[in-house]
Structure 1
């Protein structure tokens, strides 16, 4: 069974202009990318493959919705694909808002073929990086789940910068016992150093925010 990293990325093109959809699809297929087209955001949301790697090429002016508003609401829908916005009526405030909302690029129509290819490549790379980071975070959380309550307490204090003696006093344990729990936590978390353990603790904190 293929892992997410083995899946081929899908570029979702959302534009009510059929000629534009066909042109972008043809361009992306010419460089070996899988592309799917939709005439509306509703059609896009009903499609399969929204959990697969890839990105969205989204027109700003769409019937019944604004591409910027749709982009900003994607996370609430559980869709985390990077977005490239395109418009024939772009202006600076629009592009600033798009970038603040996390858009990879903002392409005014007509755009150069290479600009679209570059933007899609950057978006796919961003999505790949995000997925790899999420996979690592899940692995850290899975390892953390194997720690005993006491090992978690010791890990929290160790990664907060406390010395073994301080931890022993705070938890009413002997230093030897603290060292045993600390060693067990390091081993179960697969941490090669204290710095590794601190990074893992930060990853766990970020997941709970």
Structure 2
């Protein structure tokens, strides 16, 4: 494995993970990222990357689409299956329309053909890192909201779902077969436990849980 650290803060700065079986290409990419002040680390295969890299950390992947022993698409599929928010940019010397379509449908953020323009790759990396930051922030928000939801009773959860779907208290009461006063009491408890001062905030939290 070839590793390069451009900055000293290992916990905060995003990492560009390079995966390519061609050592010359790995070295060239590490040089490019070093010169442009981007922290990077390189791997000769997807297996090596997946077995050693922290895929929950901030960053993105720049991977060769076709490699012996496992393709870049295999890496992307594994990241998605494990819940990683890390974006993947594909590089290939054998670009064709079907390959690019498969890559983008699988969730790749970009697809570049070798030889590529350095600035195009840097722009793609910057976009991917911004996207990763947004994804990680969303996940942190979702984890916080799920922790609040876990404190709700089953009945409070039913009331919350009714309220955020736009139903009035009396409609929720009819739907659940309870009194309107009971719905009001549950609703007050939901607002307190969900740390929401307004219905709009409660709705936003519920919607955020549905996002990917």
Both proteins in one fold, TM over 0.5 = yes
Aligned residue in 1 for 2:32? 27
C-alpha contact 2:50 2:75 (8 A) present in aligned 1: no
Q: CA 1:43–1:153 in structure 2 vs 1: closer, same or farther (change >3 Å)? A: closer
TM-score where L is the length of structure 2: 0.85
Aligned residue in 2 for 1:185? 190
Aligned residue in 2 for 1:123? 128
Q: Does 1:105 align with 2:99?
A: no
Which one is further off, 186-195 or 26-35?
186-195
Q: Does 1:164 align with 2:166?
A: no
Aligned residue in 2 for 1:8? 13
Which one is further off, 126-135 or 162-171?
162-171
**What is the DSSP-based 3-state SS (H/G/I as helix, E as strand, rest coil) of the residue aligned with 1:74?**
helix
**What is the DSSP-based 3-state SS (H/G/I as helix, E as strand, rest coil) of the residue aligned with 1:125?**
helix
Q: Does 1:135 align with 2:135?
A: no
Aligned residue in 1 for 2:98? 93
C-alpha contact 2:156 2:190 (8 A) present in aligned 1: yes
Q: CA 1:128–1:151 in structure 2 vs 1: closer, same or farther (change >3 Å)? A: same
Q: CA 1:123–1:135 in structure 2 vs 1: closer, same or farther (change >3 Å)? A: same
Which one is further off, 20-29 or 155-164?
155-164
Gap runs ≥5 in structure 1: 1-5
**What is the DSSP-based 3-state SS (H/G/I as helix, E as strand, rest coil) of the residue aligned with 1:65?**
coil
Alignment RMSD, CA only?
2.1
C-alpha deviation, 1:206, in angstroms: 5.7
C-alpha deviation, 1:40, in angstroms: 1.5
Q: Deviations for 1:21-79, whole angstroms, at most 9, x for unmatched residues?
A: 11111111222211111112222122232221111110122122232344334323554
TM-score where L is the length of structure 1: 0.86
Q: Does 1:57 align with 2:66?
A: no
CA distance in structure 1 between the partners assigned to 2:48 and 2:120 by the alignment = 26
Gap runs ≥5 in structure 2: 1-10
C-alpha contact 2:85 2:136 (8 A) present in aligned 1: no
Aligned residue in 1 for 2:4? none
CA distance in structure 1 between the partners assigned to 2:79 and 2:149 by the alignment = 30
C-alpha contact 2:85 2:135 (8 A) present in aligned 1: no
C-alpha contact 2:88 2:108 (8 A) present in aligned 1: yes
Q: CA 1:193–1:55 in structure 2 vs 1: closer, same or farther (change >3 Å)? A: same
C-alpha contact 2:160 2:187 (8 A) present in aligned 1: yes
Q: Does 1:202 align with 2:200?
A: no
**What is the DSSP-based 3-state SS (H/G/I as helix, E as strand, rest coil) of the residue aligned with 2:52?**
coil
